Amino acid sequence: MQLRSKRSRAEGSGEVLFPNGEWVLLLALVAEAALFSMIAPGFFTLANLFEVLRFSVELGLLAVALTPILIAGGIDLSVGSTVGLTAVIFGMVWQAGHQTVFVAGLVALLAGCLCGALNALMIAGLRLPALIVTLGTYSLYRGIAEGITHGSVSYTGYPRSFLMLGQGYFWNLIPIQLPIFLLVVAGYWVLVHRSVVGRALYAIGFNVEGARHAGVPVRRRLALVYLLSGAVAGLAAIIYVAHLGLAKSDLGTGYELQAIAAVVLGGTSVFGGRGTILGTLLGLFFLSVLQNGMHLMALPSELTGVLIGLLLLGIVSLDRLRGRAATKTPAGSTRTKQKIVFALVAIAVLGFAGQHWYGARGGDSSRRAGAKGRRPVIAVMPKAKGDPYFLSARAGAEEAAKALDVELIWDGPTSLDASQQNELVENWITRGVDAIVVAVENRGSISTVLRKARQHGIAVLTWDADAEVDARAYFLDQATPEGIANTLTDETARLMPQGGQFAIITGALSAANQNEWIAFIKKRVAEKHPELVLATVQPSDDDRDKAFTQTQTILKVFPQVKLVMDISAPAVPGSAEAVQQSGRKDVDVIGLSLPAICKPYVHSGVVQTIVLWNTRDLGYLTVYAGWLEAQKKIPAGATSIEAGRLGRLQVRGSEIVLGVPLIINKENIDHLDF
Amino acid sequence: MGLEALLPKGKALLPLLRAESICKNFAGVRALKSASLTLLRGEVHALIGENGAGKSTLTKVITGAISADSGVLEIDGRKVDDNSPGIARELGVAAIYQQPSLFLHLTVAENIALALEGGSGGWRVDWKARRRQAEELIGSLGARIDPLRLASSLSMAEQQIVEIAKALGAEAKILIMDEPTALLSDREVEPLFRLARRLREDGVGIIYISHRLEEIAAIADRITVMRDGETIACQDAATVDRAELIQLMVGRSVASVFPKREVAIGEVALEVRDLNYASAGLQGISFSVRSGEIFGLAGLVGSGRTELARVLFGLTPCVDGISVQGQAVRIDSPRDAIELGIGYVPEDRRQHGVILEMGIAKNVSLASLCAVSRWGWIDATKEFELAEGYRETLRIKAASVFVPAGTLSGGNQQKVALARWLAIRPRILILDEPTQGVDVGSKAEIHEFVVQLAEQGVAVVLISSELPEVLGMCDRIGVFHAGTLAGVLSREEATQEKILTLAFGHAVAGGQAA
Amino acid sequence: MRGYAREASVALAIVLMMAVLALIAPGYFSRENLADLFLANMPVMVIALGMTLIILTGQIDISVGSVFAVCSVVAGVSARNGMPLVLCGLMACLLGTACGALNGALVGYLRVPSIVVTLATMVALRDGLRWQTQGAWVGNLPVNFQWLGLGQPIYTGLVVGIVVALVALVAWGLRYLRAGRMVFATGSNEQAARIVGIDTRRIVLAVFALTGALTGGAAMLNSVRFNQIPSNLGLGLEMKVIAAVAVGGATITGGAATVAGTVLGVILLGSIGTALTFLGVSATWEKAIQGGIILGAIALNLLGERREKHAATIEALAR
């Protein structure tokens, strides 16, 4: 015991608790939390805390597994893809293989191990650079996941007991996946900080040759961390599947970079040797709290990305500056001072940004919260921000908000991401809005959280794509998938009276609703238009330029194709430009797109028809119907509602029908302003 | 021979280089206390001294690689206060080191050109001119290397020739040659000397560092002797004899310094029989070491001593020929070696011996983590006790065992490296240049610990370039020459001359010695 | 001399693929298809030239996709506001240079690891763009915006000319400019480079800035083919570029990469997608095949390296 006291005296109690200066990050986290507690409604509650934790689990698992890899001087870019692949394997074994969830889980973990093993083999075994190897497997694993599902299959319908793993709570408070996460964290903490292996990893990270000369089995240790990283990615995939209720090939896209950001923010050096699990956790929570707080303040999601990028740059640059200063003046005081200064600056910037935005949005709602007769808050979520289709809907939503004098929160994931949708809805519940209107990315995964919103007395509606029927009050039906498919197919038949070949360019191969449309198109062709032949389906990744290239290729490979049907909004101008530049007058382009971006091609006659509902009206309806429902102004069993400038709209069951799809062509395109 | 006769009139005897009372400290270790050197035009000035005497540090001060803490440095009559590699190069200082530093991905011609042009020069690259230049320079060295070969494909000797060509091309006025022949074969040495003599005639001043006293006698005009960071003497090469030089370098009589005591010699602990390993350059090596015995390995750098140590420690795994405690073994990795009770304190302390960024305790326990852990869980108290124990017994001077090893002086770092291997309770301990770059005090302590280990029955293999150390410490001495064990001498029969004769192989027998 | 085994093996893979295509789908080699392929891969090719330099110095840049998008949008907005086309192009290049220089300064002077710096700028630029545009496309471009892009034969010829000139320029510069050799020296042995007086920090800054400029230029050349500019351009572009350079034989630790290798890498990876369509293979496996090719290429590279190194050791010791 005497030794112990001697030791702690020698090492300094701060060094024992925070060997890598993590206390500064902790301070920053506390300050950040304090700031949000003051200005973000509903932030400072136990329930919100656990929600933050719940949404950090999958990413946290990956970040924790990455920490020892970075400590040993390596990197693993393939973790996100491994999540996708193992999730798909899990779903496949369960559904297609008719195995129990338990067996499927074991297989998924094993698959994760295999993914990690391939990395380990190439990095530790063949001594290839980790960055390039995992860049390769990043592509490979995602590719295999897409290949075996053809990009389109998603596995859903898991038993409730399994979904509890990702959606359930202990005592209605503590998310079930949290203990699992803590267990893994504890395991990794022991591994990194208390075990023989961890010690070896630090030695390897500082100096590989030095470690080898000390008898450290370098390759075995490296292999172990990559293997474990794969296994943990497998575990994250299982939890993710339980969380969302579906397994798809695009799960975990972009997670590798987010995980690396958390680890690096936590003080781990990419050059190896420095880093702690505690630091990673703090880095992770710093990012999650930032995201959560910004959502609660109804600041746009993309601002979070900008802030994360800038903070990351600032913190690592400062760290380097500090390192330089330290070599010049060995005193450690400058370093802590600088860190504190930086933390304060960061908080101030955050605060300023927050205040600014908050002010710009028309006042402090926490002040208004208690007051009677406050403006209702309608929160509308598109599938993804940064898509022109949803942008045009937003204009309508803003119009309605202005007309009704309600506050509109318009936010969504920056890219298609079902779990981010869940997170946003959770945050809106915490914030306390009056109505939530969601364009559903994934029906299975969002329904649970929408039911929760309804329990909190929030009016819940869906638009663009529906959730499960009992999870929402009404669905704003712009057009059914079948209706769209039929309209498109009938248009095709009209333009090709003699029949012949046509080609489809879709968005992403894994996009659910586009796959649904394709299925209905095939059905319609078989039933009504047997003279039509679908030559090929090609993905465009919602990228105009890729659609352009794909169309060029299709025109050459399938010269018989007389019509290209694009079912992704950015693809229509891409295809049209390709057809126009090819000079082929005999090929028509039709599709599902926005008048604004197709106008030149409709006028030039390349694009015959685009099929769409009035997105501006749809956006208008989201806010209007949300407001009606929040005010309980839609009586049960109503057959129609009065919707402002849209006039009287029909209600069919629990669907509010916007109207039939518009067929937009040369005649009417100039009258449409979206 | 009168030097004045060779010099151009008017500039006579203005020294090309004058270094006066140069001091330099490295993290508490005095590398240079008061070093002085005066180099004249047209002379080959040998700089000799034991390892760690400060020769390399002094040359680094001259080339601007490091800056002196105090002292006066004048190059070509100009006082240089803030020396840097750029300034030194401009003033005509060039250096060749034992270990070439080439751009391995680039060709020979380019390596030469980049070195000559540095950060300045035209914007275009004239490949023809570069090739011609390289061909000429290498040709004038009497060597033949295709200028278009990649540096990575050159042998060590060829790389050295390119280094020399680089300095030659820079038309250096002051040329520092730091053991340039250490890695060259005899055939390659002679052209080099011819060249040095020619440069001398052109008025170039050459600082020549070597451990090969024979070479020095053959080429040097004057000799400066350094010891413990100080300049001890500057002598005319023609008038000084070997014994005197050695006396000056060592500064003490050999026997009194080393604590060697008689120890009961035990069973054979390590036996090497006819070990052949072509890719490590080792041929037909046989010897044995008994427990309690200190077996010295002498020989020139690059003669295969370190390569053998690496084989014995599993760093370059060898198929067969090794037995430990009478059992034939296969050592495929350092792990295997540790399990057999073999410890290895490597030559390059900073790169391999300790991990500079890690604390003393973590360094000490790194090779014996199983001893301080249970089921993989490290017992911090046990680890602390282990390190603290060695800190006391080895008298490691540090504030605590949590201080990073990099902050310690060289001697204390070496003690940490030693402690790491003591912690595995070795039966066989290989020490590769254990006292290189270590201050005198720590050196004596390390010697004492080694003797104590032998007394405890450890078989010690001591590799050293320092002949007095080998002579003073070892029971028997094996001498390497060009990858073979040229001979084994007992303590009684060993002398510096005999060791050198064996180490130089036929070269010494050929009568090159002065 | 350095062997060209690596380039040869990539070339062989290309030849094999072409042979299969020639047998099954000769239409692949039609002039239009080749021209289209060339134009489609032009941005990757141009940016890969810069990336080759960055990887030569031992660094990496994953922000090029975001820089590409930002430059495209800014060029489009300027054109809409009546700026002459040439100035728009210049502006895109300058903006790209500025982004690259920021990366380069942080990497070169502050010694922040390049993967962290460019990860941060990648996220910040991409989301900043999203924030500003809200996903809206830049439309209503002046009629003359497509003037160059629509003059089909001229444009194709011009772009082919520009790309060939750039490739030749970079290849020539790497070999015949002192600055080019300094890039090699920096990546090969940074310490030694400093000793001979090369300012390695400036070299790093320069290669990042140059890559930024090339990215901006590629963005402009690509934009003029269309009459609108989407704001989500260049997603995943960085991975394509890095993969092409890696397949071309560059070692990620610096010092070894060739322009020829990069060109071959771009050709191989860039033609696979279209080739699969021509061969009638489902597009779903494209990504997996690309990943496999990257891994195969580096494994091959390794084998070659080991053999060379082994030979060198034997030679060194057998003296």
Q: Any residues with CB less than 8 A from the CB of C1 and at least 6 apart, and which?
A: B107, B146, B148, B149, B150
The span from the first CA to the last CA of chain B, in angstroms, equals 18
In a domain, A20, yes or no: yes
A228-238: pLDDT as tens digits: 999 999 999 99
CATH number of B255-509: 3.40.50.300
Residue A259 lies in domain: 2-355
Are both A202 and A240 inside the same structural domain? yes
Q: Which two tokens stand for residue B415?
A: 């003690």
* The predicted structure's pLDDT at residue C215: 96
* The predicted structure's pLDDT at residue C136: 82
Are both A471 and A488 inside the same structural domain? no
**For residue B190, what pLDDT band results from cuts at 50, 70 and 90?**
confident
Contacting A with CB below 8 Å, chain B residues are 315, 333-335, 337-338, 344, 346, 351-358, 362, 365-367, 369-370, 373, 376-378, 380-381, 384-385, 388, 399-402, 420
Does B154 lie at the interface with C, CB-CB under 8 angstroms? Answer: yes
Are both A172 and A116 inside the same structural domain? yes
* The predicted structure's pLDDT at residue B419: 93
CATH number of C10-309: 1.10.3470
R_g (Cα) of chain A, nearest Å: 27
Beta-bridge partner residues of B25? B30
A141-176: pLDDT as tens digits: 998 998 888 767 778 888 888 888 888 888 888 888
Given CA atoms B368, B372, B376, B380 in this order, what sign does their dihedral have?
Answer: negative
By C-alpha distance, the chain B residue nearest A3 is B381
What average pLDDT does the segment B108-112 reach?
86
Are both A107 and A230 inside the same structural domain? yes
Question: A142: which chain C residues are within 8 Å (Cβ-Cβ)?
Answer: 287-288, 291
By C-alpha distance, the chain C residue nearest A558 is C278
Q: Give B449→chain A minimum CA distance, Å.
A: 20
Are both A626 and A593 inside the same structural domain? no
Contact (CB, 8 A) for A611 and A626: no
Which candidate in B364, B369, B385 is best for mutational testing of the A interface (most A CBs within 10 A)?
B369
Exposed, middle or buried by CB within 10 Å (0-12, 13-18, 19+), for A448?
buried
**Percent of chain B with pLDDT strictly greater than 90:** 15
* The predicted structure's pLDDT at residue A11: 47
**Percent of chain A with pLDDT strictly greater than 90:** 31
Q: Would you call C285 and A143 a contact, using CB atoms and an 8 Å cutoff?
A: yes
**For residue A367, what pLDDT band results from cuts at 50, 70 and 90?**
very low
The number of distinct structural domains making up chain A is: 3
What average pLDDT does the segment C44-73 reach?
94
* The predicted structure's pLDDT at residue C70: 96
A29-77: pLDDT as tens digits: 888 888 888 888 888 888 888 888 888 999 999 999 999 999 999 999 9
Separation CA B421–CA B190 (nearest Å): 42
Question: B399: which chain A residues are within 8 Å (Cβ-Cβ)?
Answer: 10
Domains B17-101+171-251 and B255-509 share a fold: yes
Nearest to A24 by CA among A391, A288, A319, A442: A319
**For residue C68, what pLDDT band results from cuts at 50, 70 and 90?**
very high
* The predicted structure's pLDDT at residue A184: 96
- Among the partner residues A10, A210, A215, nearest to B351 by beta-carbon distance: A210
Which candidate in B83, B106, B159, B189 is best for mutational testing of the C interface (most C CBs within 10 A)?
B106
* The predicted structure's pLDDT at residue A327: 46
Q: Would you call A385 and C134 a contact, using CB atoms and an 8 Å cutoff?
A: yes
Are both A109 and A217 inside the same structural domain? yes
- Among the partner residues C192, C197, C311, nearest to B119 by beta-carbon distance: C197
In a domain, A529, yes or no: yes
* The predicted structure's pLDDT at residue B28: 58
Are both A82 and A169 inside the same structural domain? yes
> Per-residue pLDDT for B335 more than 70?
yes
**Percent of chain C with pLDDT strictly greater than 90:** 35
Separation CA C42–CA C44 (nearest Å): 5
Q: Would you call A206 and B355 a contact, using CB atoms and an 8 Å cutoff?
A: yes
**Percent of chain A with pLDDT strictly greater than 70:** 89
By C-alpha distance, the chain A residue nearest C31 is A556
What average pLDDT does the segment C76-81 reach?
90
Contacting B with CB below 8 Å, chain C residues are 1-2, 175-182, 184-185, 187-189, 191-199, 255-256, 308-319
Is B17-101+171-251 a domain of CATH 3.40.50.300?
yes
Are both A110 and A247 inside the same structural domain? yes
> Per-residue pLDDT for A334 more than 60?
no
User: Taking the domains of chain B in order of start, what are their residue ranges?
Assistant: 17-101+171-251, 255-509
In a domain, A665, yes or no: no
Subunits with 3+ C-beta pairs closer than 8 A to B = A, C
In a domain, A567, yes or no: yes
> Per-residue pLDDT for C314 more than 50?
no
* The predicted structure's pLDDT at residue A331: 37
Question: C196: which chain B residues are within 8 Å (Cβ-Cβ)?
Answer: 114-115, 118-119
CATH code at position A641? 3.40.50.2300
* The predicted structure's pLDDT at residue B513: 31
* The predicted structure's pLDDT at residue A502: 93
Query: Where is pLDDT greater, at C13 or A620?
Result: A620
* The predicted structure's pLDDT at residue C122: 92
Q: Give A373→chain C minimum CA distance, Å.
A: 32
Separation CA A547–CA A275 (nearest Å): 44
By C-alpha distance, the chain B residue nearest C253 is B105
Compute the residue count for chain C. Answer: 319
CA atoms within 13 A on the CB side of A646: 27
* The predicted structure's pLDDT at residue A330: 38
- For chain C, what is the mean pLDDT? 85
Are both A500 and A441 inside the same structural domain? no
> Per-residue pLDDT for A358 more than 60?
no
A404-438: pLDDT as tens digits: 999 999 988 877 777 788 888 988 988 889 999 99
Separation CA A69–CA B310 (nearest Å): 28
Most confident of A123-127, A337-341, B497-501, C151-155: A123-127
B336-356: pLDDT as tens digits: 999 999 999 998 888 888 998
Are both A488 and A409 inside the same structural domain? no
Question: B373: which chain A residues are within 8 Å (Cβ-Cβ)?
Answer: 195-196
In a domain, A577, yes or no: yes
Q: Would you call B399 and A10 a contact, using CB atoms and an 8 Å cutoff?
A: yes
CA atoms within 13 A on the CB side of A471: 22
Using CA atoms, how far residue A213 sits from B351, B354, B475, B478, in Å, is: 9, 9, 27, 24
Q: Give B337→chain A minimum CA distance, Å.
A: 8
Are both A217 and A299 inside the same structural domain? yes
B267-307: pLDDT as tens digits: 888 999 888 887 777 888 899 999 999 999 988 767 788 88
Separation CA B233–CA B227 (nearest Å): 9
CATH code at position A213? 1.10.3470
Q: Would you call A199 and B369 a contact, using CB atoms and an 8 Å cutoff?
A: yes
Q: Would you call C181 and B125 a contact, using CB atoms and an 8 Å cutoff?
A: yes
By C-alpha distance, the chain C residue nearest A325 is C110
Q: Would you call B358 and A15 a contact, using CB atoms and an 8 Å cutoff?
A: no
Contact (CB, 8 A) for B150 and B106: yes
User: Taking the domains of chain C in order of start, what are their residue ranges?
Assistant: 10-309
Are both A439 and A497 inside the same structural domain? no
Q: Would you call B355 and A203 a contact, using CB atoms and an 8 Å cutoff?
A: yes
Q: Would you call A302 and C115 a contact, using CB atoms and an 8 Å cutoff?
A: no
What average pLDDT does the segment B67-78 reach?
85
- Among the partner residues C110, C113, C283, nearest to A321 by beta-carbon distance: C110
Q: Would you call A388 and C123 a contact, using CB atoms and an 8 Å cutoff?
A: no
- Among the partner residues C2, C194, C316, nearest to B155 by beta-carbon distance: C316
- Among the partner residues C189, C197, C312, nearest to B85 by beta-carbon distance: C197
Separation CA A103–CA A100 (nearest Å): 5
> Per-residue pLDDT for C158 more than 50?
yes
Helix (H) or strand (E) holding A534: strand A532-539
**Region of A75 on the Ramachandran plot (φ > 0 left; ψ -120 to 50 alpha; else beta):** beta
- Among the partner residues A127, A136, A552, nearest to C295 by beta-carbon distance: A136
> Per-residue pLDDT for C258 more than 50?
yes
pTM for the model stands at 0.82
C173-228: pLDDT as tens digits: 988 888 888 898 898 888 888 877 788 999 999 999 999 999 999 999 888 888 88
What average pLDDT does the segment A275-293 reach?
91
Query: Where is pLDDT greater, at B320 or B149?
Result: B149
Q: Any residues with CB less than 8 A from the CB of A261 and at least 6 apart, and which?
A: A283, A287, A308, A312, C119, C120, C123
